[in-house]
A and B are shown apart, each in its own frame.
Chain A
């Protein structure tokens, strides 16, 4: 294509010089991302097919052993341990997302029902924990779940935990931690959809349908779908990969994918295996994103 003069946003220029200028703007940032994001990820992918030496060093020899191990096949026969960890991560992330959604709807409706001035205040109240350090929010549960406080006492009374011990580490503690961590991730995008709800449609549905649930599913859910989709993706994907919450509140026995990966880069010093597990997590992430793209429209994440 000849390099003709044309006018772009009022400026007389050529395609060639615009491309040159545009690339100069993009180059520094994109180069950085390529160097410290894309390339490392590719190397990481390659690493998942490498072998681990006796002292933890990497041996660059192609092998699928890491994936086999992940699937459960080792010299000792088949164990589903690792697959179970993956499964547990999906379940925990899924339940966390579900509970967060169930709690976010009433919260969003409540905030939307407030007079405009105090709405801002309530939203800030939701945003603040969102920005607060994850470690703090996680360990804070140590206090609430301590043996001296009523919650642990009630649980002991019900026989869920031995008397006198704290309510953590336990699956319950993990769920409490996860939901409190990720709730704002769902609430904030969902709220922006709820705020824009056309209540006349809801009222029309209330005329048509007698059951509350039908009104919800027919009139409210479809309208809030954009915000809901964003919230679900922003919650489910990171939740699968968290390791702080299960680490602090779940204990050594309640491992999620994140803990497994972290272990390979820490105590176990098995980077290739860590890479393989990361790839598995990556694949789960891709699948969830694809499902989101199918369902939701193109929403601006920020």
Chain B
């Protein structure tokens, strides 16, 4: 394609700058010696070191991770099964579009509505059993609920691109049900399942709204911690924490992109 007009180029670069300016600001001030205010007082990594000795932050980080791992595992299994169920079987047009709508609901609904509905549901279920008190259990359930849809959509998309010719070819070549599954379907599906899992994982790590509504006193996650902290006032420590979170996100996202690109070759 031809080169871009200079006006377009400057608009584009300006937009990129606009996107990154705030994050850049946070990163810069995370290494600023000054405890308050915005005057530059010298470079330091003290704030980062302080993070690692902050017990509360460490346990919050652990919570966030545990929540993400558990919910991702369960959601990936459930989501993959759903995707197979939708794509690999002959449902009527009506059934297919109903299933499709059900899968898209969590994706398009504003998460605050989902959060509200879950708060109410848990509130009512609490009457039946104590386990539904706000806390980790509720959060895991909330996360899984929206992750399933994302995983299912990603895996379904992968299944669609696999097509059914290869399945018929495998059977034409004398394969039994199990052989087709083991030698053809599972290897071909796997990149999609992994991509779905990574998507779910990142969504869980990042989630604020659902966690906010379902968290209990002992089950803080990093986004919630940061939110509570900045309402009181920004500190360099928070900047350090945020910069770390962003860096980890970058690593995860780039890693996931790399992996999906490699497997795309298949």
B3 x A113 contact (CB < 8 A): yes
Segment at the A interface, from B41-49, B50-58, B115-123: B115-123
B264 in the interface (beta carbon within 8 A): no
What does the 1/0 interface line of A1-26 toward B look like (CB < 8 Å)?
00000001111000000110111111
Contact of A143 among B18, B38, B106, B168 (CB under 8 A): B38
A240 touching B245 in the complex, CB below 8 Å, given contacts A109-B12, A135-B208, A271-B120: no
What does the 1/0 interface line of A72-91 toward B look like (CB < 8 Å)?
00000000000000000000
A158 in the interface (beta carbon within 8 A): no
A29 touching B78 in the complex, CB below 8 Å, given contacts A113-B4, A180-B18, A271-B120: yes
| Total interface residues in chain A, CB < 8 Å | 87
A43 x B209 contact (CB < 8 A): no
* Besides the known contacts A133-B223, A265-B115, 11 further A-B residue pairs in the complex with CB atoms under 8 A apart: A37-B105, A39-B121, A41-B117, A106-B11, A110-B4, A110-B12, A143-B29, A143-B234, A149-B38, A233-B108, A275-B116
Inter-chain CB contacts under 8 Å: number: 269
- A248 surroundings in chain B (CB, below 8 A): 227, 230-231
- B226 surroundings in chain A (CB, below 8 A): 133, 135-136, 139
B85 x A139 contact (CB < 8 A): no
A98 in the interface (beta carbon within 8 A): no
Segment at the B interface, from A62-70, A119-127, A221-229: A119-127
What does the 1/0 interface line of A108-151 toward B look like (CB < 8 Å)?
01111100000000001111110111111101111110101100
A160 in the interface (beta carbon within 8 A): no
- B113 surroundings in chain A (CB, below 8 A): 41, 44, 241, 261, 278, 281-282, 285
B167 x A10 contact (CB < 8 A): yes
A28 x B81 contact (CB < 8 A): yes
- A242 surroundings in chain B (CB, below 8 A): 110
Contact of B15 among A19, A44, A106, A141 (CB under 8 A): A106
- A137 surroundings in chain B (CB, below 8 A): 22-23
State A131–B257 Cα separation when bound (angstroms).
12
| Total interface residues in chain B, CB < 8 Å | 99
A267 in the interface (beta carbon within 8 A): no
A30 x B82 contact (CB < 8 A): yes
Q: Is the contact region of chain A dominated by helix, strand, or loop, or is it mixed? A: helix
Q: Would you mind naming 24 contact pairs between A and B with Cβ atoms under 8 Å apart? A: A9-B88, A25-B85, A28-B81, A39-B121, A40-B121, A103-B11, A109-B12, A132-B23, A133-B208, A133-B249, A134-B206, A136-B223, A139-B227, A140-B242, A143-B22, A143-B25, A143-B26, A233-B108, A241-B111, A243-B209, A244-B227, A275-B120, A278-B116, A278-B117
B85 x A238 contact (CB < 8 A): no
A47 touching B120 in the complex, CB below 8 Å, given contacts A125-B16, A135-B223: yes
What does the 1/0 interface line of A245-275 toward B look like (CB < 8 Å)?
0001000000000100110010000010011
- B39 surroundings in chain A (CB, below 8 A): 148
State A44–B113 Cα separation when bound (angstroms).
9
Interface residues of A in 175-202 (CB under 8 A from B): 179-180, 183-184, 199
- A146 surroundings in chain B (CB, below 8 A): 38
State A275–B141 Cα separation when bound (angstroms).
20
B73 in the interface (beta carbon within 8 A): no
B40 to chain A, nearest CB (A): 11
What does the 1/0 interface line of B133-171 toward A look like (CB < 8 Å)?
000000001101100111011100100000010011011
B83 to chain A, nearest CB (A): 8
B112 x A262 contact (CB < 8 A): yes
A32 in the interface (beta carbon within 8 A): yes
B19 x A180 contact (CB < 8 A): yes
State A43–B122 Cα separation when bound (angstroms).
11
B249 x A128 contact (CB < 8 A): yes
In the complex, the chain A residue whose C-beta lies closest to that of B121 is A40
A244 to chain B, nearest CB (A): 6
A240 touching B110 in the complex, CB below 8 Å, given contacts A33-B145, A40-B118: yes
